[in-house]
Chain A
Amino acid sequence: MKLSRIALLAALCGIVSAVGIRAWQRVGNFGFGSDDSPSNVKAEFYWSRLSYTSSLSSYGGYGGGYFGRSSWARDYPKADRQFLIAMHRLTRIDGRPYEQVVNLDSDDIFNYPWIYAVQVQTWSFTDAEAKRLHDYLLKGGFLMVDDFHGTEDWDNFMRGMRQVLRDSPVEDLQSNDEIFHTLYDVDDKMQIPGEHYIRTHRTYEKDGYQPKWRAIRDKDGRIMVAICHNMHLGDAWEWADDPYYPEPFASMAFRVGLDYILYGMTH
């Protein structure tokens, strides 16, 4: 081909691809809510489970049996599904019936203002991840952490937490705190055990004898991190349908969970 024709063709390809890239840039930014396929249900509230980098990730890895699963996925997805059934039945929240997994690798997490994380004694953050979680919480995100027991777990949890929020104090929640009265009045709280209770009849794990309901507040006094230490709400949701798991624990777990979600959606 003649040189001029090659040049023309190249220019044309360049223009077409530039337009295409520009078009994709305008549309490709619309990540959240852009999936209109029939299998994707869109809702107001997405139950979002935080998938973090575990410091114990060398512990088996994927697909190696129960102990091999990553710790963030403890009770996933049955706990999530059961909880969402309760939320759909007991509140007017327009929630998606299945869970969403979010991580700190992209800005997509900002589309889910309420997130839940378990086994947080194993979490650790890179600088970028810590900054993202810090921004997330300060802009208005709400984090609920659950299922870690004893003093050693607490220290490991706080090590990760201090990477994100360096100075914010952790305080105990009182019974009359608003977070326990948004939907249900949860006045008498008890320690909610995991499913091991069926076999051991012990409500505690490791050395976490007393349940600790704690929180970290923002500068206006609103709770942004709700900490459930020495208890296992996730299991209570997951095993609520088991005939041997006591109903009082399961009901209280649901009530507390719904109160926390409604606090997050009203404060």
Chain B
Amino acid sequence: MFPLLFKYPSTVFAKGHLVFLSRWPVWLLPLLVVLAVVGLGALIRYRLRQIKPYRNETPAMTHRRAWSVWALQSALVTLILLLLWQPALSVAELSSQQNIIAVVVDDSRSMATADADGKPRVDGALNALRGGVLDGLNKRFHTRLYTLDSKLTKVDSLNGVVASGSATHLGDGLQQLATETADLPVGAVVLLTDGSENSAGLGGSGISLAAMQALRNRRLPVHTVAFGSEKPLHDLEMEDVSVAPNAVVNARTIASLTFVQHGYANQQATLTIRDGDRTLAAKSITLQRDGVMQTEPLFFSAGEAGARTLVFSVEPFADESNAKNNALTRPVLVRDAKRRILYVEGEPRWQFRFLRRAEEDDPSVQIVSMLRTSENKIYRQGISGPDELADGFPSKAEDLFAYSGIIIGSVAADYFTPAQQELIREYVDRRGGGVLFLGGRQSLSDGGWTASSLNELMPTFLPAGTNHFKRNAAVVNLTDAGVASPTTRLLEDPQKNAERWRKLTYLADFEDPGSAKPGATVLAEMSSGGKRMPFLITQNYGNGRTAILASGGTWRWQMSEALGDPSHNLFFQQLLRWLVADTPGAVSVNTSARTLSDTGHIDITATVHDKQFQPARDAHVIAHVTGPAGVDAALEMKPSQETPGLYSASYTAEKAGPYLTEVTATSDKDELGRDTATFQREDGVAEAFHTEANPKLLDQLARDTGGSAWAGNNLKNLPRDISYSEAGISVRSIKELWNMPIVLVLLLALPLAEWLMRRKWGVV
């Protein structure tokens, strides 16, 4: 229809520029147009004024009619003036028989999915090509056929194309095409795909910047042909799993599972975490609306030490169209190195004894305690040798920083010298350790901590004055943050857990810690005599964390609950594990990815500190990588030029499976420390995810490169429109517009309309 009126297809108008072929200056045209229009208007006005109507007679030519005549006449004059300047379109066109069109077919496994009409997408692509597109292209151009999955491959004919590729990397494939054909006159690219790109992360756009740059440099337009339906009919897909890469032995760990479903709204589904054959956790949840990303937390016990590969899955329904995208695997490293905590207590009290007893059952944490039994005597327990803590609280950084956490009991602030107080602050801020303050006779505000320099470490604003420690009963309840936190989880079910806390026996004493600071989290509150106060408050400070447990009377939870009730011990074990879990060692390893999908390249970085926990500049750092099927490699890690203490190495994992990296740092024959990290490589797993078509990606790609997006069933104009491209061997052709049918029609229609109107009004 469009070419009928406008002589050229719409692509020409979209891609072409308007030019005037006449040699007269272009600025004259608008000037003349304005003069003509104004002149006509003036003429008509002059004439209008001359008309004096007789009485009792309406004039034949009213003002409105006059001005409509004026409009028609001005349009005619403008059109003729335009035509005098010889307008034309300048558009680049591919020369016939001199250009190559690259036809790229996506043959990854997602193209094998059969959509609503039952036929696989790849069949639709091949039928479209065989059904006329290739022939149409071959009339004027040479065609080159390629298949694309994780990389681009040239094929000779369409006969061998089977949708079996293990991954889709559209951006990389197009970039490869652009560079491979750098010396060939490729005029355009036709891409037949469903758009499900595997290298897109959660919410990423998929096509990398480098690929777009390569395409734009060669001015290659990509004409995308989309296949597949956008919405899967019945599918439940696991989008992402977020779980900490390291855990302490037997620690209660939390994992966040994010998933999306279509067609199963409001039904029940089961989330599970498996380690080999063992099920670590299972939870039943209700699915939300279609297409909404749902995140659920799941708690599980880390179990024994070792490098484990955990499978996080949602049980597939029987009629799911794709059951392979319901599970994701993540490597988790469970460490059993004993974390040592320094506990400073100023007076013998029951909380000290029951806390020590609670931690004796936890093999991953050891308490090294110093207790002031009399004015001048300190009783040490848990020490590794007679020299440890022989001089009291450590005054040197390398002694104090060796501990993973510090507990300060009923100790007045002035028991610590100013240097020791500064050391404690550095311990939290720089070294990243954890400090727990317990309520007591000489703790918090009653111990002069408000005025000390460590007041900024406290997670609360300590109340003014003293006499806040009271030996009265107080009842504890969880806050909302405490219900969700793994630290206060005594029972699996959150509701039952909150109930259990409500029923816990009262505390023997309490101390008002004040109000929580803005960045702090209050996990539990206590109330006594009608007054509510925070009980357990935590916050992050610098690289470390601090917490207050505002009571010295939690021992009643052990003595006054039933025999065998684990509440007291479990609570302290979890609280102290939280205190030390994120304390970094002297060496801490990071990998650029934890799961490699179909690619092997990984960057390993290690942060190395010396004994004072300053960055170690001259350490000798080795990464030892072990993998499946006997893979074993030792890599020397190079120090970074910009950041002191940072060492890095690259590695390529060839085979699929779990890998373990152990990094050891030594300096002058002294071992500074070692750390371990795990990662895994999966092949072919990513292709099962995101199998729904992604036409938005293809639209974006076509638009950014100057091509057009086509639908799979409407390709008859493709061979014609594809020739308008600036790539390859193209010629700028000038297409004249004066003989457009619409122009001639207008030249006829305008005067005819005016004459008809005048006849109707009786003026002519």
Contact between chains at A266 and B508 (CB < 8 Å): no
CB of A199 within 8 A of chain B?
A: no
Within 8 A of B (CB), among A124-141: 135-136, 138-141
Q: Which residue of B lies closest to A112 (CB)?
A: B559
Instruction: Give B561 Cβ to nearest chain A Cβ, in Å.
Output: 8
Q: Does B647 contact A (CB under 8 A)?
A: no
B357/A140 in contact, CB under 8 A: yes
The answer, among A36, A94, A265, A266, for a CB contact under 8 Å with B441, is: A94
Contacts of A34 in B (CB 8 A): 472-473
- Most central of A91, A107, A265 by chain B CB within 10 Å: A265
Bound CA span A182–B352, Å: 15
Give the distance in Å from the alpha carbon of A1 to the alpha carbon of B374 in the complex: 73
A45 to B353, CA, bound (A): 13
Residue on B nearest A42 in the bound complex, by CB: B471
Task: List residues 174-210 of chain A with CB under 8 A from any CB of chain B.
Answer: 182-183
B492 within 8 Å of A by Cβ? no
A183 and B378 alpha carbons, distance in the complex (Å): 9
- Identify which of B342-350, B393-401, B746-754 touches chain A: B342-350
Interface size band for A: 20 to 34
Q: Please determine whether A90 and B374 come into contact, CB atoms closer than 8 angstroms.
A: yes
B52 at the interface (CB under 8 A from A): no
Contact A92 B373 (CB under 8 A): yes
Q: Is B493's beta carbon under 8 Å from chain A?
A: no
Chain B residues with CB under 8 A of A183: 373-374, 377, 379
**Minimum CB–CB distance for B736 against chain A, Å:** 97
Contact of A113 among B372, B506, B555 (CB under 8 A): B555
Taking a contact as CB atoms under 8 Å apart, the answer to whether A141 and B563 are in contact is: no
Instruction: Say yes or no: is B560 at the interface (Cβ < 8 Å to chain A).
Output: yes
* B371 proximal to A (CB < 8 A): yes
A44 to B509, CA, bound (A): 9
Known: A29-B506, A34-B473. A93 touches B348 (CB 8 A): yes
Chain B's closest residue to A134 (CB) is: B563
Q: Are A265 and B348 in contact (CB under 8 A)?
A: yes
Digit string of A72-112 for contact with B (CB within 8 Å is 1, else 0)?
Answer: 00000000000000000011111000000000000100110
The verdict on B356 contacting chain A, using a C-beta distance below 8 Å, is yes
Cα–Cα distance between A183 and B508 once the two chains are bound (Å): 26
Please give the distance in Å from B576's CB to the nearest CB on chain A: 18
Knowing A111-B559, A138-B563, A265-B353 touch, does A92 contact B346 (C-beta < 8 A)?
yes
Is B471's CB under 8 angstroms from A139's CB? no
Q: Which of B320-350 contact A (CB under 8 A)?
A: 346-350
- Whether, in the assembled complex, B679 has its beta carbon less than 8 Å from a beta carbon of chain A, the answer is no
Instruction: Name the distance in Å between A140's Cβ and chain B's nearest Cβ.
Output: 6
Quick check: A33 and B508 within 8 Å, CB to CB? yes
Q: Are B347 and A94 in contact (CB under 8 A)?
A: yes
Are the C-beta atoms of B347 and A111 separated by less than 8 Å?
A: no
B558 touches A140 (CB 8 A): yes
Residues of A within 8 A of B379 (CB): 182-183, 262, 266
Whether B360 sits at the interface, judged by CB under 8 Å, is yes
Instruction: Tell me the dominant secondary structure on chain A's binding face.
Output: loop
A contact residues around B506 at 8 Å (CB): 29-30
Q: Which residues of A contact B349 (CB under 8 A)?
A: 44-45, 94, 265
B473 in contact with A92 (CB, 8 Å): no
Q: What 0/1 pattern do residues 141 to 153 of A give for CB contact below 8 A with B?
A: 1000000000000
Say yes or no: is A167 at the interface (Cβ < 8 Å to chain B): no
Q: Select which of A33, A91, A140, A220 is within 8 A of B559 by beta carbon.
A: A140
Give the chain A neighbours of B509 by CB distance below 8 A: 33
A166 within 8 A of partner (CB): no
Bound Cα distance from A111 to B356, whole angstroms: 19
CB pair A266–B472 under 8 Å, yes or no, is no
Q: How far is the CA of A33 from the CA of B350 in the complex (A)?
A: 15
**A182-B556 CB under 8 A given contacts A93-B348, A94-B347:** no
Chain B residues lying within 8 Å of A135, measured Cβ to Cβ, are: 563
Q: Which residues of A contact B552 (CB under 8 A)?
A: 44
Give Cα A264–Cα B348 distance, bound, in whole angstroms: 10
Identify the closest chain A residue to B563 (Cβ). Answer: A135
User: Closest approach, in angstroms, between the C-beta of B405 and any C-beta of chain A?
Assistant: 20
In the complex, chain A residues whose CB is within 8 Å of the CB of B471: 33, 42-43
Q: Is A162 an interface position by the 8 A CB rule?
A: no
Interface presence of B354 (CB below 8 A): yes
Say whether A24 faces chain B, with CB atoms less than 8 Å apart.
Answer: no
Docked pose: A107 CA to B559 CA in angstroms: 10
Residues of A within 8 A of B592 (CB): none
Is A62 at the interface (CB under 8 A from chain B)?
no
Chain B contacts for A107, CB-based, 8 A: 560
Q: Is A67 an interface residue (CB 8 A)?
A: no
Residues 188 to 245 of chain A near chain B (Cβ within 8 Å): 220, 222
**Bound Cα distance from A34 to B475, whole angstroms:** 13
Whole-angstrom CA separation of A93 from B353 in the bound complex: 13
Complex: A192 Cα to B563 Cα, angstroms: 36
Which residues of chain A are near B560, meaning CB under 8 Å?
Answer: 107, 110-111
Inter-chain contact B348/A266, CB cutoff 8 Å: yes
Q: Is there a chain A Cβ closer than 8 Å to B217's Cβ?
A: no
- CB of A41 to closest CB in B, whole Å: 10
- Which residues of B lie under 8 Å from residue A59 when comparing CB positions? none
* CB pair A266 B372 closer than 8 Å: no
Minimum distance in angstroms from A111 CB to a CB of chain B: 7
Contact A141 B352 (CB under 8 A): no
Contact present for A33 and B373 (CB under 8 Å): no
| Residue A22 interfacial (CB < 8 Å) | no
Evaluate contact between B473 and A33: CB separation under 8 angstroms.
yes
Instruction: Name the contact of A139 in the complex, choosing from B371, B375, B559 (C-beta under 8 A).
Output: B559
**B-chain residues with CB within 8 Å of residue A182 when the two chains form the complex:** 373, 379
In the complex, the chain A residue whose C-beta lies closest to that of B506 is A30
In the complex, the answer to whether B352 meets A265 with C-beta atoms within 8 Å is yes
Query: Does B356 lie within 8 Å of A92, measured CB to CB?
Result: no
- Name, among A43, A44, A182, the residue most crowded by chain B CB atoms within 10 Å (CB to CB): A44
Residues of B within 8 A of A141 (CB): 559
Tell whether, in the assembled complex, residue B356 and residue A140 are in contact, meaning their CB atoms are under 8 Å apart. no
Chain A residue contacts of B563, Cβ below 8 A? 135, 138-139
Q: Which residues of A contact B372 (CB under 8 A)?
A: 92
Contact in complex: B559, A113 (CB < 8 Å): yes
Q: B347–A266 contact, CB under 8 A?
A: no
- Give the chain B neighbours of A44 by CB distance below 8 A: 347-350, 441, 552
Is B381 in contact with chain A by the CB < 8 A criterion?
yes
Q: Which residues of A contact B371 (CB under 8 A)?
A: 266
Q: Is the CB of A139 within 8 A of B348?
A: no
Nearest-neighbor residue (CB-CB) of A261 within chain B: B348
When distances are taken between beta carbons in the complex, the residues of chain A under 8 Å from B348 are 44-45, 91-93, 262, 265-266
Contacts of A29 in B (CB 8 A): 506
Partner of A91, one of B350, B353, B360, B374: B374
Not counting A136-B559, A140-B558, A267-B356, a sample of 12 additional A-B residue pairs whose C-beta atoms are within 8 angstroms of each other reads: A44-B348, A93-B347, A93-B348, A113-B559, A135-B563, A138-B563, A139-B563, A140-B353, A182-B373, A183-B377, A266-B353, A266-B381
A-B interface, 5 closest residue pairs, ranked by CB to CB distance from nearest: A30-B473, A42-B471, A265-B348, A92-B347, A110-B559
Provide a sorted-by-A list of 10 A–B residue pairs whose CB atoms are within 8 angstroms: A30-B506, A34-B473, A44-B441, A90-B374, A91-B373, A113-B353, A136-B559, A138-B563, A140-B555, A266-B379
